[in-house]
Every structure is written in structure tokens, then in C-alpha cells.
Amino acid sequence: MLSNVALSVLDEHFVGAWEQAMNKPWRREARRRKGLANYRLTRYADDWVLMVAGDRADAERLREEAAMVLSTMGLRLSEEKTRITHIDEGFDFLGMHIQRHKKRGAQKRHVYTYPTRAALASVKAKVKATASYRTTNQTLPVLIRRLNPVLRGWVNYHRHGASSKAFAYLSAYTSVSYTHLDVYKRQRGNGPRPALPSGQPGRGRAGSSSADGPGTGRSPRSSCLLYTSRCV
């Protein structure tokens, strides 16, 4: 809560600059003709990304500007968690991986969003926890009713992105996990315990919905300065 209040100075600084000089198309075009970058801040709690229509030098200058603004509140940017990246390289923000690449069979590039590795790993861990052999004293309907809200919430959050392959993978993982648990419950105490499935989905290219494979750990709270070249 305190960090959220402290970071409001970023909103005031960058939103103010946007409203004064870049909130109209003709203003942004005038800045481009002068060789100036256009930029806009998006923030949720203590995660934020500054989108820059310019080059890397513009992004580096704005990073220093953000650091100066935060210093007035006694805060500083973390070198480990703050990075500058091009939209074609992609970045993670609020559980989504956002990246621009060409659509399959076409030259035009589009921006796609996928669930991050950490997001997929997190929901898989919740599936595994409910399908654990420690839950054999509970019936499958009880476990499924407990898991369904988790899956429904995760799918609803990611359904606006290119997530169909991630959904298919998660569905298969859940089905196999509960099938193994059901078999174990029926043969309880007889024979070795079957292993839960593992693996990861591949990331598709443009034109096909896909997702990153599972990663490790949770995404750290971070900031990102995103830049694109002026010619696109």
C-alpha cells in the first residue's frame, strides 16, 4: 500500500507530460517531426511499464528521469528488476508475456500476449496440490469443486490473449493428474505410485495462439521501459 502511494509521483509526472504534450495525434506527430520521443506510463500497484515511441537512447533518458522522480520520495530503481527492452524482444507484465512478431504467412507485425512461464507454473502447482496423494481421504468431486474456481479465474484472466495452446496444455495436465490420482485411489496401497505428468508447451508463432512453457518461481515486482522505433 505504501509503495503504491509513493509511486503515484510517477503517475503525476508522466501522465502530466502526456496530457500536456502528447494526448492528441497531431501533437505526437509534431514531436516526431522534431525528432522527439512519445511515451506513456502504464502502472498497476508497484509494477509499471513506460512505453516509448523512440529509440534506446530515449528509453535510457526516460529511465534516468523516472529515477530522479522517485528519488524525491526516497525511492530508487532496482538495477536487477528494471530493464529496457524492444517490443520485438518482448517483456512480462502482470502475468502476461507481450511481444510483437510477424503473423504467419504475412509481412505485417502484430503484438501478441501469452501467459508467462511463471503464470503457467503457478496454476500447475495448484492443480498438483489438489491432485496430491495427500488428498486421498477426499473424494474426487470435492477436489474438483475446490479446483474449478482456480482454473476458471486463471482462464478468464488470460482469455483475451493468444492462450489457446496454454489452455489445451493445462486441460491435458489437469485431466492426466486427476486420472492418475483416481487410479491410485482405486489401487491404494498396491504397487508403486504413478508419477504426475511433466513437460511444457511450445510457444507458437504469430497466427497461432500459444503460450510460454512453465518457468520457475513467481515474477518479481518490476519496472520496464519499452521502446519501439519511430518508423513503425
- pLDDT tens track for 44-87: 888 899 999 999 999 999 999 999 998 888 888 888 888 999 99
> If we measure between CA atoms, which residue out of 55, 58, 34, 40 comes closest to residue 230?
55
CB 226 within 8 A of CB 52: yes
The pLDDT score that the predictor gives to residue 188 is: 72
* Mean pLDDT rounded to a whole number for the chain: 81
The pLDDT score that the predictor gives to residue 127 is: 93
- pLDDT tens track for 139-151: 888 888 899 999 9
The pLDDT score that the predictor gives to residue 214 is: 37
Distance CA 60, CA 66 (A): 10
The pLDDT score that the predictor gives to residue 227 is: 43
Distance CA 103, CA 80 (A): 33
Kindly state the cell numbers that stand for 138.
477426499
The pLDDT score that the predictor gives to residue 77 is: 85
Assess whether pLDDT exceeds 70 at residue 108: yes
